[in-house]
Structure 1
Amino acid sequence: MRIFLKSKLHKAIVTEANLAYTGSITIDKALMEAADLAEYEKVLVVDNTNGNRLETYAIAGDRHSGVVCMNGAAAHLVRAGDEITIMSFHLQDKPTQPIKLLLDANNRIFKNLTQLELVR
Structure 2
Amino acid sequence: MLVQILKSKILRAETTDAIKDYEGSLAIDELLMKKVGLMYGEKILVGNITNGKRFETYAIPAPAGSKTISLRGAAAHMGQKGDLLVLMSFAMMTPEEAKAWVPSTITLAEHNSKIIKSQNALQ
TM score, norm. by length of structure 2: 0.89
Q: 1:1-120 to 2 correspondence within 5 Å?
A: 1-93=2-94, 94-95=97-98, 96-107=101-112, 108-112=114-118, 114=119
* CA shift for structure 1 position 14: 0.2
Q: Counterparts of 2:90 and 2:80 in 1: how far apart (Å)?
A: 24
- Specify every segment of 5 or more residues in structure 2 that has no aligned partner in the other structure, as ranges: none
Q: Which has the higher helix share?
A: 2
The amino acid of 1:101's aligned partner reads: I
Cα distance in 1 for residues equivalent to 2:14 and 2:23: 21
Structure 1 residues 10-47: Cα deviation after superposition (integer angstroms, max 9, x where no partner): 00000000000110000000000001000000000000
Cα separation, 2, equivalents of 1:104 and 1:39: 24
Q: TM-score, normalised by structure 1?
A: 0.92
SS of equivalent residue, structure 2 residue 111: coil
Gaps of 5+ in 1: 116-120
- Please provide the CA RMSD for this pair: 1.0
Structure 1 runs (4+) deviating above 6 angstroms are none
What is the number of equivalent residue pairs in this alignment? 114
